[in-house]
Structure 1
Amino acid sequence: MSDLEEGEIFHAEVAGSGNFAIYLVEGKVYASDNICTHGAATLSEDGYVEKFNVICSWHDGAFDIRTGEPAALPCMVALKTYPVEVKNDEVFLTI
């Protein structure tokens, strides 16, 4: 968890399981798929965080980091999110 910075998007890749975006917002860690459901943008490279939203810079669509629900058009399909557990400064996702 020490690699995470508040308001930044961290990219994590798990062999055979996919690419994930990891967020630290108000001291809590969240995780989602790393690809925007509206386009093929990679959120960890093409996105940014505002409060509890990840904004995809390709079309300014947004998702709620906590739930994956669309928060701004043109995004209409929810982003898959994952339960996160932090143990001994390490972040674990339930996939």
Structure 2
Amino acid sequence: MKYAGNRPYSAPEKAARRLLEHARAFQPIQDGRIYIEQINHPFLFGDRATPAGYSAGLAHAISHGWLELHESGTFVKLTQSGADLFA
């Protein structure tokens, strides 16, 4: 499947990996949690990605076990398998 060149994060895999990069950039708070705003703001406004790309990337990262979303939706946690992608 081909994706538009002007929308680099329309591919869920690429968006998920970029979200993981943003997650790694922040020092986790209690229990390794990262405020979701610390990954969505730089992705949406710094990378100029779309909300659809963000949602698809987040869902992809969660479904592959790279990120865990807290039940409140306020925090994510980078899992070991997510961290291992950058090892």
Shorter-normalised TM range: under 0.3
TM-score normalised over the length of structure 1: 0.24
**Which structure is richer in relative contact order (CA contacts within 8 A, separation 6 or more)?**
2
TM-score normalised over the length of structure 2: 0.25
In terms of fraction of residues, the more helix-rich structure is 2
